[in-house]
Structure formats: C-alpha cells, structure tokens
Structure 1
Amino acid sequence: MPFRRLLATIAALAAAVAGALVWAPTASAAPLPGASASPTTVPRYGVSTVTLTLDGESSTQSTPTDLVLVLDESGSINDTEFGQLTDFADSVVAAVADDGLFANGGRVGVVGFSQTAQDVSPLSADEGAVRSAIVNNTQMRSSTCISCGLDRAGVQLGPDDPLRNQVVIVITDGNANPGDPTASAAAALQGKATVFAVGVGDGVSQATLETVASGPGSDNTFTVGSFDDLADLLEKLVEAVSVPGATHPSIAVTLASPWKLVPGSVDANLAGSSIGGVTPDGFTWSRADLGDEQLVITYQVKHAGAPCGPLGVNSSVAYHDDENAAVVFPPVVVTVTCVPPVADAGPDKSVAEGSSVALDGSGSHDTDGVVTSYAWGGADAGVGTLANADGPVATYNGLDDGADTVSLTVTDDNGLVDDDSTTVTVQNVAPSLTLTSCPVDPTAVSTDVSFTGTFTDPGALDTHEMTVDWGDGTTTTPVTSPVGATHQYAAAGIYDIAVTVTDDDGGSDTKTCGFVVVYDPEGGFVTGGGWIMSPAGAYPADPSATGRANFGFVSKYKNGATEPSGSTEFQFKAGAMNFHSGDHQWLVVAGDKAIFKGTGTVNGSDGYSFMLTATDASPDRFRMKIWKTADSTLVYDNQMGAGDTDAPTTALSGGSIVIHKN
C-alpha cells in the first residue's frame, strides 16, 4: 500500500534510534473536532469568522506494515562500503523488530541489485532469518540496473493490499545504466507503495532520486556523503517515514445556503497544509499527516441575503483519513438580523378626469437588501383605476372627480413588507361640444330651423344636460344627448343659436351656430344712396387710404321668391376700387335695420362676396364689408373688427337710407 496506510511500525524505529516517538500498538482516540463562529449575530449580508479545530493523536490504529529494503550491490561499492551498507540494513531490521513490527503482523524483505536483482530475503515475519540473510549476503559487483531492484521489490510486495502498509527504501550510490527504464519501474512501484530514495556520495543525481521516490524534496529523498554516514541518516529517515495519528487527513467544507465563502479568507495554522477546491460554496483542507498537534482552520462566510434568523453555516464538514477515523464536527449557527423595507408611495397627486398620472413608488428602499415587488391597490372604482400596479411606478387613471386613497405594499428579497399610501385628487373636466350642423341658408319666418351636434367628456361616469338659447328670447332646457333641436322664428332677424352642455359636476361648454338668417318676404325692402367718409384702415390694400366712398343699393323680395333681387354699387376712389353686385342671397329687415348679403365683382373681376348693413334712423348709418369668396380675404370694411350682425356706426355724409314697409 502507498504511504497513506503506513502505520506506527516505522515510527517505532525512530523511537529505538532517537527516542522521538512512542510505539502505539493499539488504536487510540480519533482526532477531536471543535467548531465555533465569531460573531454569532450579524446583520444581513454580514460576515462571520468560522473556526474549526482538530486535536490530533500520535496514532489512530495499528496496521501490519511490509517494509522492503532495496540495496545497491554494484561494482562501484567497495568491500568496506558494502559492509557499512549491510550493517545499516541490519540495524534497521533490528530497530523495527524491537518496536513490534513483527509482533503486529509486519514483514521485512530485502532486495539486492546490480546488473540484475536478487532476493536477499523475501518478505518474512522471521526477524532472525531476515537479519541472517543480510549478514550472509554476497555482493554481485556489476553495473547498476535500478529498475531491476524496483521491479523485484514490487514482486516481493505482491498486489496492492488495502489492509497493509507498504513501504520501500532504496539505497544507491550511482545513476542507472544508460537506457534503464527507471521511471516506468518506479511509477509501477509507487502505485502501491510509498518509496523513499537514499543517495550515497556524489555519483547519483538528485533527479534520479526524485524519479525513484514517491515525491520530490526532503520528504522523500535523502543524501549522505558516504556509506559511513548512513548511521547518521537513520534517525532522519525513520522520522520521515514514521506514521502520525492520521495519514492523509482531509476536511471538505461545504457551506449551507445562504452563506458564501469570502475569497482569500481560508487559513490553516499547520505548516504543510494545503487548501484546494475553493469555490464560493466551500473548500478542502488536506495534509500529509496529523500527529499529536492541534489543527486550526479559519474562514470567513458572508450572508447572501435571505433568509434571516438562526442559520446553520456549514452544510457538511466531511473528515477523512487513511485510517477511516470517525470525526464529526459540531454544527455552527449564526443568527442573521434583517431590516424590513420602507415603502414610499410618493407625494399626493392631482389629475384631471379622463387623464392619467404617475404614482412613483421608486423612493421605496431597503437598507439591507432590495425591494423585489410592488403592489398598488385601494383605488375607488367610482373615482379612478390603476394600471401597472405591480411596478415601482403605477398609472392612475381618473374617471370622475373626487379624492382617492391609493396604497402601496413593497416586499424585499427576504419576504419582509411595508405599506404606505398617497391621495389622488381627480378634478372635473368640462365636456367639449361640437356643433356638427347649423342653419346655413336663410330661412323664412315660421319655418323649422335645426342644428345637430356631439360632445365628449373625459369623465366617463358623468351625466349631462343640454340647453339651447335660440337668440330670440326662447330657451329650450333641459335636453339630453344627443345634441340637436328644432325651432321656428316668428320674426325676421339674424340670430345666434347658443348651445350649452353641462355635466353633473357643473362643468360646461357652449358653442354657437352664429349668423342664422331668418327673413320675412312680406317684411319690406330697403333702398339707399349717398356717400360716407371711409376711415383709415378700411381698405387693407392701402390702410392709409381715406376719403369719400359712394354707394347706391336696392334689395327686396318679389312675390313668392325665396331670394331677394336688387342691385348694389360701391365706389372708393382713394383705393381705386369699384364694386358691383351680382346675386343678392338673402335680405333681413327688422325694425329700422336692414342687412343683406350677396356676390359681386371688384373692378370687373368675379369671386367676391359682400354684406351691407343699413339703419333708417337719425342719422342714417351704413356699413359695407367685401371679401374674396374663396379664402375670405378681406377687401374692404369700414367697421373693421366688428361682428357681422353689429349695428352700423358710420353716419352718412350725404344721401339717405329708407326701409319700406309692406
């Protein structure tokens, strides 16, 4: 067997020579484990230092040991040196026997090698027979076939035996013959035995020794200046191959979730310790042996975030050695304290009904972790609704005016929660009215006049009423959607129909049809002629132009006609403008006021419209408005900026206006 099974038999040799170790023929206690942590309470994501201790023993059990001495008998060794080598081999066997190797089932064999190898003594439990064979051995005195000696030792040991320790000590004073398969022979032997190599003098290289031995360096290779010095090497050699309480001990640490290993934090106090297999979840400590000494391993663990409370640090701490000692480390528990998150629903908000506003909960936080979920709720279905209710920023949609309290619950990555709330005030928005059709053509008195319209209101829960002011002193109310109504006017005039939609929260919108012409074919006609002083700005083509403007007109309904007939002339010399009417489209005579509209030409060019307003009063007054029909570009207006149905303000400078009654 390799060195991992080497027992106290060789240790006894050290006791015999140097008194350094004590033979332990029977099993002793397994290494004693301990475990602790400091501190034992940490905050979330905190760090604690774990300490594992292991008190070793001189030996854990006695196992039969087979020792083979492989001795160089080549011709480079003279008689005196060979005698010194023989004496050294004999002293090793004597020391091992005195300390009970043979009494505990052990055996010793001796191999000599030169050009070939021979069994000086096969493996034997008879001390006397082995020593006699060594003393009576005859040197072969030829070349150096190291592989022959290694192969022969392997044959002596036989198959790898898991119930026995198998050790080989090779002593040589020179390198192998050229072409000698030393490396392959050594590898085969090392597969089942722990091999130590001793070089004598300066004829053997360190490379050869390290090829033969189970490992490089002073643990497995030794050198002396001469064969006479071998006796001085005995203590050192036996100490190197002596068996401690545990051979090849290892401790595999696996951390429990949610703990992670702090990088670079693993440390062991004993020289020769090896730390391997390091991952965030653990590591493995190992060493060649553990004797009567205390091992202290420390490492730091960091809490990974969740859960909290008393938590076991180690999932497992698995001990193993070649003696199969039973070692169970006590559990390590560290308590983790966690802080709940802080919910922040943000400031109170206002929003118009039918609109949305962001509710920002991103100010929520967790001092020792992160917020993992958001839950908005509590919206009153009669006031508003929520969208994106599972995100840090929710959307509140206002439905109807009112105040609404909205709650926010946040949860952190450890499952702890907190709540907050904010108030959303939904403000009313008035409806928006559109009149889709209004009277366009002039309408005779006592004839139906109608309009239609629609409205929208972002307040999805609002109810509405409509009222209509027909402009003649008549009001229709209330009227519900859809928007629209019919009315008959009793008197001629130009009326403005005002429609108002009002919601149940008092918001309203008003739109007007405007300029609804109601005429009375039997209501009279108008004539006029004369001149006015045209004011500055009346003629946009030349705003500074002022002076006399002449006019003449007649407009009347013939019997049964729905459109008036007549003629209108208007001349403004300062602007070099001459207007002549074509069609008269409608005429309204109401009291002392007449207004009519039609088309015509300017300086002989078609494409113009006009509206003439006149009053038969004291003084008579006159207004003329002319524009391009296609795009409403204003050509002339002596009452610039006034409404189309406003009474004229420009008094005649000469002439007269007469409204004729039927």
Structure 2
Amino acid sequence: MHAVTLHGRKPAHRNRLLLAATAFAVALTGAVAAAPTASAAPAPGASASPTSVNRFGVSTVTLTLDGESSTQSTPTDLVLVLDESGSIDSGEFSQLRNFADDVVEAVADDGLFANGGRAAVVGFSTGAHTVIGLSADETAVRNAITSNPQATGTTCISCGLNQANTVLGPNDPARNQVVIVITDGNANGGDPTAATAASLQGKATVFAVGVGDSVSQSTLETIASGPGSDNTFSVGGFGGLAALLETLVAAVSVPGATNPSIAVTLAAGWNLVPGSITANLAGSSIGAVTVDGFTWSRANLADEDLVITYQIKHEGAPCGPLPVNSSVVYDDDENAVVNFPPVSVNVNCLPPVAVAGPDKTVAEGSAVTLDGSGSHDPDGIVTSYAWSGADAGIGTLSNPSSAVATYNGLDDGADAVALTVTDDNGLTDDDSTTVTVQNVAPVLTLTTCPIQPNAVNTDVSFAGTFTDVGTLDTHSLSVNWGDGSTTPVPAVSSPVGATHQYTAAGIYDIAVTVTDDDGGSDTESCGFVVVYDPDGGFVTGGGWIDSPAGAYPADPTATGRANFGFVSKYKKGASVPTGSTEFQFKAGSLNFHSNDYQWLVVAGSKAIYKGTGTINGAGGYSFMLTATDASPDRFRIRIWQTADSTVVYDNQVGAADAADPTTALSGGAIVIHKG
C-alpha cells in the first residue's frame, strides 16, 4: 500500500511523542516502524563514476530511491471512526475529539491533502452517522470534529464500520483507503462485527485503537486488517491517546510500496559487468541478469533509502557522450510513478595512427611498394586503408585499398601520396609519404648505318629506333655528322633517321642523340663512316718499322723489324680503289698479301684504306692501313680474321680504327699524291 507522507508535523507533537512511539513501532505491511522525520524529500537519483572513460572502460552506476518521497504517488482517503457511546464521559469525549483533530492536523502537515488525499469522520453508538464526508479541506474536517456533539448510546461497532464503508464508496485501486477505529468497549451482543469488518477490509486498511480495559484484543483484531500489534493499539485511557499519535500516524501514513521492482536495461554501447550488482537493503533480490541489464525487487519498500550500484563496460563503439541506461522502469502494486533521471558517460576513443612508411624512390616505368602495415589503433583495430593523392602526371596507384599499395612511376617528379586509415569505431588518421620518380633516359638503337664507302657529295643516311619507359616523355633528336655540321630535330618519335652529304673525303663518326624532356639522353654512333673522293689523290709507301711488343697477339713478346710496301689509288671513274699491299713480320713468321681493296680515303696528309688478303697464303683475313705523310712519316696496319674479328696483328693495339698512326717509320717513306 501507499499512504500519504507526513512532513512538517508540529515539533510539539513529534518531539513529545517520538520516544513513546518508537516503543510501539513495528514493521507494517509496506512500511518501516520508525516514524519519518521532517525533511526535504530527494527525487530518484542516477549517477555514474567516473563520468569519462576510455574505450572499453568501466564505470559504476548508482541508482538511489528514497522510499518516503520517490514512491509516494497514490492519494489517500482517511476515515476516522469515533466511538460516541454513553460509556465515554464528556471529558473523555473531548479528549477523543482533540486526538482526532491532532491526527487530521498531522496527516495534513505530512501532505495528505496536498497529495490529493481526503479525510472523513464517522461517529457511532447505537447507530452511526457521518460527521463529515470525504473532504480535501483540512479546515472543514477539523471544524466538523471539534463541533461534533456526542450521540451517547450503546456500542454498535458494525454500524460504524458500515458507515465508513459507505463513506469510502466503491473500491478505488487508484487511491489508498485507510480507516482508523477508536473505541472503549466491545460490540453489543449479536453485533455482526466480523462480517462488516471483513467487508471493509476488502478495500481498506483498517487500524483499531482500544481505550481502557473494556476492549478485548480479539475485538480489536476482528476490526483491524491484521492481528497483533501490526494493526491494533491499546492505551489505558483517553488521556493516553496523545502518546499514540506518532505511532498511529506512522503506521497509517509512512509511505510504502508493495512488491516494488526496478528493471534496468542498458543502452547500446554498454555491457553489464558480471557480478557487479549490489543493493544496500536487506531482502533485495537481483534477477533477470543478462549482459543488457537486470531487475531489482523486494517484498516492500518504505521509508528507506535504496541504493543500487552496478558496473558497466564499454563495448567498443560508439564513442562520445553515451546514455548509460536505455530504460529504468519502476513498478509496484500501488502503481507509483518513479522516473529516474538519465545519466551518461563520455567515452574517449583514440583514433588510429596512420603510418605511410618511409619516402620512396622509383624509376620511370618501374613500380615500388608503399607499405602502410605499420598503421595501428591504440584501442581497437584498423578496418580500412585508403591511399590517394597520386599525381596523374607523375604516377598511379594500384591496390589503393590495401595496407600495401603499389606506386607506378610514369614521369619524373616528387609525388606526395596520402594514407588514410579508419578504425573499427569510424575514427581516422592521415599520413603521407613522398615518392620521387627518377627520369630514365631513352634507349636508342641504330638499325641502319653507312657500311659501304660513300663518295663525296652523295647522300649518307642512317636509321634507328628508340624506346623510353617514361611514357609521358617527349623527345628531340640531334645528329652530329662528324664533319662540323649538326642536324637538330626538336620533336621526334620513333623511328628516326636523317641524310647528309659530305663535301670532303674522310672517315667520320656519326653521333645520334635522343633526348627526353627531362634531360635524359642516349647517344649512339655509326662510327667509321668512310667518305672517299675518287679524284682526291692516292697513297704509296715502302720501308719498315720496329714492331712493338703486343702487336702480335700470338706472341705478345715478339718484337723487331717489319717490312711493308703498298700502293692504293682510284682509277678514273672507279668506285673501288686498286693496288697492292705487302707486310712481313719475321719475328712472327707473318707474311701478309692483299687480295683487293674496298675503299680509300685521302684527307690531307692522312690516308686510310681497307681490304682483304692472305697470311702465308691462306685467305680469310681483312686489313686496314693508315699512313701519314709528315715529319716523320707514320704507319699502322691492323689485320684480323674476317669471320670473327680476331686480331692477328696491330702495331697500335687498342686505338680506334680512325685514329692517327703513332708508329714512326724506321726506314723508307710514305707519299700522298694529290689528284
């Protein structure tokens, strides 16, 4: 049951009667024995400590409920049933009226009327009458009590009980119905007290007060809702009623709840810590425990302070200020309304740490891995990776959603690539790395070079191709023909080629250079391009040289005299020179004789010609002879196997084919004849 909370009672009543009341107080149904003290009633409370935790952290939630204030919600209807029989003299009846007035004042002070309650007074003797029906007006009720005359007569207790039943009206589950019966004697013989009492007890809680020695305990227990001292009280005389005020009012009006329960359901983001639920009141029961909540219950709750604590652990997501409880539902048999305030705990989640790895260098046309696997989350896991920022003019990304991505270099430059990682709570972090793409020079291949001798003032051509792994590069071409002239081509693509005419006989080196727009280049040379002038003169020579060590690979130590004689000239209108060449190196038993000539170049004081011949009568050899008509005359001959270019003799080993000879004649002369 709920009854009205009594606050603000006059100190003269409370202090004077408190000790006496304690002696009589017992645990009543839905109430505690001690009388309430006047104080401000706290509301239901909910709090958490700490109010800020890290991810997966634990906080302790505390729910508080003051049984006196928080469960008070049902208004009370109180009916005082007063004995007016003739066995009570006028003085005693005056004391009875004063006591009834004090009861009404006390319940008013404790909020009966303020909480929607009402009071009524019934008098009985031979019959019963309504002194005042249920009224929410304290003054009217008290005035009716003090002005009510005594009826006198016999003691018809059933009459008074029936009248109270009538005054209360039909059973109203939305209201507490309480009756206090005060009498000094037993009922008239044959009075149907038990039947009428049972009818009244079906909808109201009935207390019985016996005054003097004429009332039997059995009569009081018949009237009251319960036996013994739970609902019955006795005093020696009407003057002693005052000592019962606190006890009686406390028994009637201390708030209480029958079968109260509190069902806690946690909000998303929290789990209940197993074994963490505590309740301070004896008799508390904890049930329906799951990871999502529990239910507290008890047989009753009266003027007590309930404290429930339980621990919650963050599930891992989400973060920020999170409500702790999805719902906290209070319930009791009296339909009290208790609303616990919301409580929240702020969850501090740490973002992941993105690690894009060290800066990388890669060549154009090549790939390099970008390793973000060092990324981590201090309080969770990394759930996704996102590489971005590749400049389309420098490179591209492959597998950008993986921890390890691939960067493909396209063109030289420095590219800042970003890595964004996201954790299992949706938080992100960024890091970046710089990829430097280095230029790779183009690769040139000369596919066609002048092989046969070319007459002066005729076209000399070459052709070639080039490749470049830098697919975004552009290219230019430059040709150095070797005669002091160059041909620049500002924009080319593969294949390439050019044509040139030489105006003077000579052996030229055509140098072809392809350059990309980043400054990378490749140069290839045709080398030894023979340009002759059929009308440019001829050369003759004879004599000997001192052959140096190493000139004869078959015996590198062989040295000594080597004799030579030669003539090489173009006949009129011929494109191939004629003549004869002899070379003998006795230390190597080498005797070379020419068979034919391929070309002759006479340029100034230098002549060079090429042909084939035999050694010691065996064919399969080629030679090149270079001579200068100077002071001193100089001579070089290089002989090799035609099939595999194996050198048989060269008195100027390692020098370029077109190099000027360095071996001076030891005897004889070389003469260049002008055309």
What range describes the TM-score normalised by the shorter chain of this pair? 0.5 to 0.7
- Code of the residue aligned with 1:631 in structure 2: it is D
1:14 aligns with none
State the SS of the aligned residue for 1:650. coil
Q: Name the CA distance, whole Å, in 2 between partners of 1:262 and 1:604.
A: 108
Deviations 1:552-591 (A, max 9, x none): 3343344554333444333333334443444433222222
CA distance in 2, matches of 1:629, 1:539: 17
User: How far did residue 47 of structure 1 move?
Assistant: 1.7
State which drifts further: 570-579 or 321-330: 321-330
Distance 1:494 1:504 in 2: 32
Using the TM superposition, give the Cα deviation of residue 603 of structure 1 relative to its aligned residue in structure 2, in angstroms. 4.7
Q: How does 1:395-414 map to 2 (within 5 A)?
A: 397=408, 399-400=410-411, 409-414=420-425
In the alignment, which residue of structure 1 is the partner of 2:542?
A: 529
Q: Which residue of 2 aligns with 1:647?
A: 660
**Residues 325-364 of structure 1: matches in 2 within 5 Å?**
331-340=342-351
1:289 positional shift: 7.1
Distance of 2:442 and 2:320 partners within structure 1: 59
Aligned match of 1:435: 446
Q: Which moved more, 1:304-313 or 1:357-366?
A: 357-366
C-alpha contact 2:30 2:257 (8 A) present in aligned 1: no
Residue by residue, what CA displacement relative to the aligned partner does 1:371-424 show, whole Å, maximum 9, x if unpaired?
544555555545555555445565555555555555555544444455566666
In structure 2, how many angstroms separate the alpha carbons of the residues matched to 1:251 and 1:299?
13
- C-alpha distance in structure 2 between counterparts of 1:43 and 1:49, whole Å: 14
* Corresponding residue for residue 476 of structure 1: 487
When the two chains are superposed, the root-mean-square deviation of aligned CA atoms in Å is 4.8
Q: What's the offset of the Cα at 1:515?
A: 0.8
* Partner residue in 2 for 1:614: 627
Q: Structure 1: any 5+ residue segments left out of the alignment?
A: 1-18, 26-31, 58-96, 106-243
2:30 touches 2:300 (CA, 8 Å); kept in 1? no
Q: Is the 8 A contact 2:511 2:523 kept in 1?
A: yes
Q: 1:590 to 1:263 in 2, by over 3 A?
A: farther
Give the corresponding residue for 1:599.
Answer: 612
Q: SS where residue 574 of structure 1 aligns?
A: helix
Question: Structure 1 residue 434: deviation in Å?
Answer: 2.6
**Contact 1:587-1:597 within 8 A present in 2 as well:** yes
> Letter of the aligned partner of 1:538 in structure 2?
A
| More divergent stretch after superposition (500-509 vs 399-408) | 399-408
AA of the residue aligned to 1:651: A
The residue type paired with residue 649 of structure 2 is Y
Percent of aligned pairs with the same amino acid: 73
In structure 2, what residue type is equivalent to 1:555?
S
The 2-side partners of 1:467 and 1:39 are apart by 79
- Measure, in 1, the Cα distance between the counterparts of 2:639 and 2:288: 102
- Give the Cα separation in 1 of the matches to 2:474 and 2:557: 55
1:486 aligns with 2:504: no
One-letter amino acid of the counterpart of residue 52, structure 2: T
3-state secondary structure, aligned to 2:492:
coil
Q: Structure 1 residue 535: deviation in Å?
A: 1.1
Q: Which moved more, 1:435-444 or 1:372-381?
A: 372-381
Q: Which amino acid aligns with 1:658?
A: V
State the shift of 1:496 in Å: 0.5
Corresponding position of 1:241: none
Q: Which residue of 2 aligns with 1:308?
A: 319
Q: Which stretch of the first structure deviates more once superposed, 563-572 or 304-313?
A: 563-572
CA–CA distance in structure 2, aligned partners of residues 366 and 374 of structure 1: 12
CA–CA separation in structure 2 for the residues paired with 1:544 and 1:619 = 26
Q: CA deviation at 1:647?
A: 0.9
Deviation of 1:627 after TM superposition, in Å, equals 2.5
CA distance in 1, matches of 2:50, 2:305: 23
Aligned counterparts of 1:452 and 1:474: Cα–Cα separation in 2: 18
Query: After the TM superposition, which of the residue ranges 520-529 and 376-385 deviates more from structure 2?
Result: 376-385
**2:532 aligns to what?**
519
The offset of 1:330, in angstroms, is 5.6
Q: Which amino acid aligns with 1:593?
A: K
Question: Which residue of structure 2 aligns with residue 625 of structure 1?
Answer: 638
What CA distance in whole angstroms lies between the structure 1 residues aligned with 2:199 and 2:618? Answer: 143
CA contact (8 A) 1:56 1:290 kept: no
Q: What is the CA distance between 1:622 and its match in structure 2?
A: 1.5
**Residues of 2 paired with 1:657 and 1:263: CA distance?**
114
Relative distance call for 1:586 and 1:245 in structure 2 (3 A) is same
Consecutive unaligned residues in structure 2, runs of 5 or more: 1-24, 32-42, 69-193, 203-255
Letter in 2 for 1:305: G
Distance 1:261 1:584, change over 3 A: farther
- 1:464 equivalent in structure 2: 475
1:592-637 CA-to-partner distances (Å, cap 9, x unmatched) read 2222223344455544332222223332222122233333333322
Alignment of 1:8-23 (within 5 A): none
Report the secondary structure of 1:586's partner residue: strand
Equivalent in the alignment of 1:446: 457
Deviation at 1:490, TM superposition (A): 1.9
| Aligned residue pair count | 463
**Shift in Å at residue 646 of structure 1?**
0.3
- The question of whether the paired residues in 2 share the 8 Å contact of 1:376 and 1:394 is answered with yes
From the superposition, tell whether residues 20 and 500 of structure 1 become closer, same or farther in structure 2 (CA, over 3 Å): same
Answer yes or no: is the 8 Å Cα contact 2:283–2:299 preserved in 1. no
- Give the 3-state SS of the residue equivalent to 1:617 in structure 2: coil
Q: Deviations over 1:6-40 (max 9, x none)?
A: xxxxxxxxxxxxx9976679xxxxxx986542212
**Amino acid across the alignment from 1:471:** G
Picking from 266, 270, 274, the partner of 1:259 is 270
Shift of 1:262: 4.3
**Number of the residue aligned with 2:601:** 588
Q: Measure, in 1, the Cα distance between the counterparts of 2:618 and 2:308.
A: 111
2:555 paired with 1:571 = no
- Quote how far apart the aligned CAs of 1:48 are: 1.2
Q: Work out the CA distance in 1 between the residues paired with 2:333 and 2:612.
A: 121
Partners of 2:512 and 2:524 within 8 A in 1: yes
**Are 1:545 and 1:574, in contact at CA under 8 Å, matched by a contact in 2?**
yes
**Matched residue type, 2:270:** W
Deviation at 1:342? Answer: 5.6
| Equivalent position SS for 1:480 | strand
Structural mapping, 1:62-461, within 5 Å: 254-262=265-273, 265=276, 279=291, 282=292, 298-315=309-326, 331-340=342-351, 367-378=378-389, 380-391=391-402, 397=408, 399-400=410-411, 409-417=420-428, 428-461=439-472
**Mapped contact 1:250–1:284 kept (Cα < 8 A):** no
User: Contact 1:555/1:587 (CA < 8 Å) preserved in 2?
Assistant: yes
Alignment of 1:29-48 (within 5 A): 35-48=46-59
Return the alpha-carbon distance in structure 1 between the equivalents of residues 201 and 581 of structure 2.
147
Pairwise CA distance, 1:291 = 8.2
What's the CA shift string for 1:177-202, capped at 9, x where partnerless?
A: xxxxxxxxxxxxxxxxxxxxxxxxxx
Deviation at 1:529, TM superposition (A): 3.3
Give yes or no for contact 1:347–1:422 (8 Å, CA) kept in 2: yes
Q: Are 2:29 and 2:300, in contact at CA under 8 Å, matched by a contact in 1?
A: no
CA distance in 2, matches of 1:357, 1:390: 16
- Which amino acid in the other structure matches residue 647 of structure 1? D
Structure 1 pair 315–617 and aligned structure 2 pair: CA distance change class (3 A):
same
Q: Tell me the amino acid that sits aligned with residue 448 of structure 1.
A: D
Query: Take 2:30 and 2:300, find their aligned partners in 1: how far apart are those partners?
Result: 15
Checking the alignment, whether the CA contact within 8 Å between 2:261 and 2:298 is kept in structure 1 is no
Q: Is the 8 A contact 2:453 2:529 kept in 1?
A: yes
How big is the shift at 1:44?
2.8
Q: Which amino acid aligns with 1:455?
A: F
**Partner AA of 2:447 in structure 1:** T
Give me the whole-angstrom Cα distance separating, in 2, the residues matched to 1:555 and 1:331.
116
Q: Distance in 1 between matches of 2:429 and 2:477?
A: 49
Q: Deviations over 1:114-143 (max 9, x none)?
A: xxxxxxxxxxxxxxxxxxxxxxxxxxxxxx
Instruction: Please state how far the C-alpha of 1:518 moved relative to its aligned partner.
Output: 1.5
Maintained 8 Å contact 2:276/2:310: yes
Using the size of structure 2 for normalisation, the TM-score is 0.56
